[in-house]
Amino acid sequence: MKQDGGALLTLAGYFALMSLFAVGGANSAVPEMQRIAVEVEGWMTARQFTDIFAIAQVTPGPNVIIVALIGYQVAGLLGALVATIAMCGPPCILACYVGEVWERFREAPWRVAIQAGLLPISIGLIAASAFVVASAAAHNFAAVAITLVTAVVTYTTRLNPLWIFATAGLLGLAGVGT
């Protein structure tokens, strides 16, 4: 956990590149984040990554904020800042300039095909993220049950996720998931 320039540069490089491949949002990149943070760079243990994911989910705001937590773990406050800027910067620049082109080609067949083609990819990526986190959290039958019940409740109702998180947190605290 050194706060040297090398670590910051590494963080910036990983997240700037990852930001351009996060098809369908920040949660799509969760498996890649885990692969890099736990397996490639060894910044944290698998359990710490699962903790960080949980913290990011219960923090209000966009899910992309998980990168600030990863950055903090690597290089403190500066790491959090660098990771966040790296993850948001490239897409924002793209958003500024692609926005106009998008308006102009609103009905172009290639635009429609790109949009239709990216949808299954982003769904597959989010499913992969869910699977990666679910298997990391699945220490026993109860944890798996929490995942499955939440999935069904989310699919069938419009319950505010905050209630689900509160219930699951309390169940965990009571020792159900361990």
Q: Which of residues 99-138 bind other proteins (CB under 8 A)?
A: 99, 102, 106-107, 109-110, 112-134, 136-138
Give the total of residues touching other proteins (CB under 8 A).
111
165 vs 53: CA distance, rounded Å = 13
**Nearest 5°: CA angle at 132, between 49 and 120?**
130
154 binds other proteins (CB under 8 A): yes
86 binds other proteins (CB under 8 A): no
Q: How far is the CB of 2 from other proteins (least distance, A)?
A: 15
10 binds other proteins (CB under 8 A): no
Question: Between residues 5 and 115, which has the closer beta carbon with respect to other proteins?
Answer: 115
Q: CA separation (Å) from 1 to 42, 70, 71, 105, 123?
A: 11, 11, 10, 47, 35
94 binds other proteins (CB under 8 A): yes
- Cβ burial 126-154 (10 Å sphere, 16+ → b, else e): beebeebbbebbeeeeebeebbeebeeee
Six token digits for residue 85: 């800027």
Q: Please, which of residues 41-70 interact with other proteins by CB under 8 A?
A: 47-48, 50-65, 68-69
147 binds other proteins (CB under 8 A): yes
165 binds other proteins (CB under 8 A): yes
